[in-house]
Amino acid sequence: MFKILSINPGSTSTKFAVYEDEKLISLHTIRHSAKELEPYDTIFEQCGFRKNIILNQLKADHINLIEISAVVGRGGIIRPIESGVYSVNDKLIYDLKYATQGEHASNIGGIMAREIADEIPNCRAFIADPVAVDELQDIARISGLPDIPRRSQFHALNHKAVGRKYAKLNDTEYERLNLVIAHLGGGISVAAHQQGRVIDVNQGLDGYGPFSPERTGTLDAGLLVKLCFSGKYTENEIKKRLVGNGGLMAHLGTNEVQLVLQKIDEGDAYARLVLEAMAYSVSKEIGSMYAVLHGDVDAVILTGGIAYSQFVVNYIQKMISSFAKVVVFPGEDEMEALASSGLRILRGEPCKEY
């Protein structure tokens, strides 16, 4: 029997959990105010602050650190890698610490995993399926401009976990299935999974594809260039409009789908149009990934927090159910996904090296 600590740092929160094999025994989400984070100039500088919160809470929960066999952190923005579970080595620590590929709160997940594991005898540190997972087929990398190739950055952890969950429920293996999986959250990523590999996916971090509650997705390139050179906005202001203040936020002043649904219930026709447009854009992306798999698709899976919305799910199902089997796994259990990834390694599966 193994005890595993999962750590998932977000921009304003730190989630962590302890599992005993598959059984959850402790789960916490600690919110961080702007005032608490103000003293830190970089994400990395928050590492000690957040790690102490985790260790103090585990002590309060009467969890003996000496019993923990592995610490699995949310993987950050690192060099493109294949899907899998990676040991936290010095090269990985360097790229996470110095944000060589980009700064993101999830970067310190692997760092905290290593620091905590180093304090426990015979404890191992891992990351699993970070946003940098890249399994694209070569043809999917080509854009219309060689300077700007298509990139793979998406909700890999939840995509892979949901793919395995669906396979298990159907008494098969994820590597035997062709799936289109749509993660519907603050960002939206829709991927073509071909026998265990994501051969195509929209760049859901700050790139293209459907618009989401807070991201613009694909835009008219010509108009975007004009906006960038209009003199009205700095580079950082443009980035914030694309990620954070785009999508539902730009149209309706909120990134909460539930609040949009309240507007719709109160008769707001524009709110209905915008939410339907978001579901419409998701449906189109699903259709494109269906084509990537040549129509040989075992199921289309809708997941993420927005998959709890029957309004959105019904709209997507109406558009695609004539050609696809649609399955809904609402929400995202990243803590369980991290723990199960570590458990597979502890039970004997090979671990990858960064």
- Rounded Cα distance, 213 and 256, in Å: 7
Q: What is the value of pTM for the model shown?
A: 0.90
- Count CB-CB contacts under 10 A for residue 4: 27
- Tokens found for residue 262: 């309240």
95-104, 174-183, 188-197: which range is least confident on average? Answer: 95-104
Looking at residue 75, its pLDDT comes to 87
In the chain, the domains with their CATH numbers are 3-135+334-353 (3.30.420.40), 162-330 (3.30.420.40)
Q: Would you place residue 296 in the very low, low, confident or very high pLDDT band (cuts 50, 70, 90)? A: very high
Given a cut of 90, whether residue 209 has pLDDT beyond it is: yes
- The arrangement of strands across the sheet holding 13-20 comes to 23-31, 13-20, 3-9, 68-74, 124-128, 85-87, 352-353
Given a cut of 90, whether residue 102 has pLDDT beyond it is: no
Average pLDDT over residues 213-218: 96
**C-alpha torsion angle, residues 315, 319, 323, 329 (rounded to 10):** -20
Q: Exposed/middle/buried for 223, CB within 10 Å: 0-12, 13-18, 19+?
A: exposed
Nearest CA to 25 out of 60, 51, 63, 55 is that of: 63
Q: Would you place residue 27 in the very low, low, confident or very high pLDDT band (cuts 50, 70, 90)? A: very high
Given a cut of 90, whether residue 12 has pLDDT beyond it is: no
Q: Exposed/middle/buried for 344, CB within 10 Å: 0-12, 13-18, 19+?
A: middle
Given a cut of 90, whether residue 105 has pLDDT beyond it is: no
Q: What is the chain's mean pLDDT, rounded?
A: 95
Average pLDDT over residues 116-131: 96
- Rounded Cα distance, 90 and 257, in Å: 41
Average pLDDT over residues 102-130: 95
Nearest CA to 180 out of 196, 193, 167, 189 is that of: 193
What is the share, in percent, of the chain residues with pLDDT greater than 90?
90
Looking at residue 238, its pLDDT comes to 96
Looking at residue 325, its pLDDT comes to 95
Tally the C-alpha atoms within 13 A of residue 68's C-alpha that lie toward its C-beta: 30
- Rounded Cα distance, 58 and 52, in Å: 10
Looking at residue 94, its pLDDT comes to 96
Q: Are 315 and 276 in contact (CB under 8 A)?
A: yes
Task: Enumerate residues 6+ apart whose C-beta is below 8 A from 107.
Answer: 43, 44, 76, 77, 96, 97, 99
Given a cut of 90, whether residue 161 has pLDDT beyond it is: yes
Average pLDDT over residues 109-118: 97
Q: Would you place residue 310 in the very low, low, confident or very high pLDDT band (cuts 50, 70, 90)? A: very high
Looking at residue 147, its pLDDT comes to 96
Average pLDDT over residues 313-318: 98
Average pLDDT over residues 315-330: 96
Average pLDDT over residues 132-151: 97
Nearest CA to 117 out of 342, 333, 341 is that of: 342
Q: Are 296 and 194 in contact (CB under 8 A)?
A: no
Q: Would you place residue 98 in the very low, low, confident or very high pLDDT band (cuts 50, 70, 90)? A: very high
Looking at residue 112, its pLDDT comes to 97
Looking at residue 61, its pLDDT comes to 96
